[in-house]
Chains A and B, each alone.
Chain A
């Protein structure tokens, strides 16, 4: 025998139970969500010693925002690195797809994990070569299975010998 209105009252009881449960909200400036080690953040980690200036990352980028300017040494040998003058990444237009990170053959470019890089001036969103040279070297493990094998969680700094699949 079905009483009129029982379905609606069941809905009310569900809501009443939620009134007594703790909330799911993270109060942002005081608490922050933990991101996973593979999270694609807003900055990049670049090891200059590993980079040869081959520009594969620039070719792989769908938007063409990586700008690389190199010059050869006076007596450049075949197969050695170029000297890098400019290595800029325009994060104002970047979509953080990590195709550049996937493309790098020397494991020199990695994704960073920062997500709080908002700025007031659009030109300041371009990550210049100096910022990349001096930034904290905490790569994410996106496309870098060797870092996951050693159990790296993204909290300490890695130097250029540990960050790649083969040493320099």
Chain B
């Protein structure tokens, strides 16, 4: 973008740097924007401030130790990262987990989806300007989910819960009671969030019709996740390419219509409700049995490569593993959804106002830890 170009009325554009130190860019992230008064002409994201070299570090750690690295990619949805990596590893080694482990994995991943969407919606409304009120309410629910996770695996953010061949811990005593309490309470809370947010004229006037994204354009830009479904495209990996036990569970995939900010917000709220449904079915049908198959301590997969993908809360998360027969992977590549969803930010923002840039960025639900890896 050339900032000394004149606009049609002879004025110059302003180059504004929503810099890496900013109160509200969800992480260390830089946006160079070119503005004509209040209207946006061009937006250029610059990232890389949070790069920690996960792919390189993975080459020097054994397969079990890499699980601790994968926790930290999208640090708000650790279970999904673990599951994606283990899916890739299980394709490589062709070891399959027992049934109970599959159910446990799905329960944990759906709980994680609720927590991640709560954070996404909460920070979006915070960016809109409601001074952290809905965010605090949603944090309280997330606290309860993290307490459930602490009961199961001992940690609240960096879980390292999944292992090759199953999960690392079984459910503790008293977990069923806690999770049922939580789910009953949560359905009331979703109604409260809808009362607080979805009827509010201010939110309506700022989100309805703003920054639409057509389905065809979304497919061409490789957008996945709730953003794609909000544009009307029916693509959810849990239905189209079922992994674990998703083909035995009854749930719906909410779809939007026009792909504007309002649709992205409503799709996430509806997905939380569907997650509650999935968890209830899983807890009801949980089979008895072992939760982990015995594997070697330092597992040596046969030479080859595999790509494992899951439907993470933010999109399609995939791990590409290449093995050369030793205890550490030869190469680990990560297809992170936030990185790919970010490319569509320019199209969403051009033509709208400065105040809409941050809101659009929030509706895409981008986690900078995943963008930079």
A111 and B154 in contact, given A143-B168, A148-B173 (Cβ under 8 angstroms): yes
Q: Is A29 an interface residue (CB 8 A)?
A: no
A95 and B68 in contact, given A7-B204, A24-B140, A143-B168 (Cβ under 8 angstroms): yes
CA distance A17 to B153 in the complex (A): 35
Q: Is A62 an interface residue (CB 8 A)?
A: yes
B196 proximity list for chain A (CB < 8 A): 10-11, 14-15
CA distance A10 to B198 in the complex (A): 10
Contact A99 B65 (CB under 8 A): yes
* A140 CB, min distance to chain B CBs, angstroms: 7
B200 touches which of A7, A35, A140 (Cβ 8 Å)? A7
* B168 CB, min distance to chain A CBs, angstroms: 7
Q: Is A39 an interface residue (CB 8 A)?
A: yes
B168 touches which of A5, A13, A102 (Cβ 8 Å)? A102
Task: Encode contact with A along B195-216: 1 for CB under 8 Å, 0 otherwise.
Answer: 1111111101000000000000
Q: Is A60 an interface residue (CB 8 A)?
A: yes
- Range for the number of chain B residues in contact with chain A: 20 to 34
Q: Is B273 an interface residue (CB 8 A)?
A: no
Contact A38 B64 (CB under 8 A): no
Q: Is B46 an interface residue (CB 8 A)?
A: no
B68 proximity list for chain A (CB < 8 A): 62, 95, 97, 99
A35 proximity list for chain B (CB < 8 A): 150
CA distance A33 to B152 in the complex (A): 17
Contact B150 A36 (CB under 8 A): yes
A38 touches which of B153, B198, B204 (Cβ 8 Å)? B153
* A154 CB, min distance to chain B CBs, angstroms: 11
A38 and B150 in contact, given A97-B68, A102-B168, A148-B172 (Cβ under 8 angstroms): yes
Q: Is A72 an interface residue (CB 8 A)?
A: no
Smallest CB gap from A103: residue in B: B297
Smallest CB gap from B153: residue in A: A38
* B194 CB, min distance to chain A CBs, angstroms: 10
From residue 60 to 78 of chain A, which have CB atoms closer than 8 A to chain B?
60, 62
Jot down 5 A-B pairs with beta carbons below 8 A, ordered by A: A8-B202, A62-B65, A62-B69, A95-B158, A148-B173
Q: Which residues of B contact A (CB under 8 A)?
A: 61, 64-65, 68-69, 133, 137, 140, 143, 147, 150-155, 158, 160, 168-170, 172-173, 192, 195-202, 204, 297
By Cβ-Cβ distance, the 9 closest A-B pairs, closest first, are A7-B199, A62-B65, A38-B154, A40-B154, A14-B196, A36-B151, A97-B68, A11-B196, A142-B154
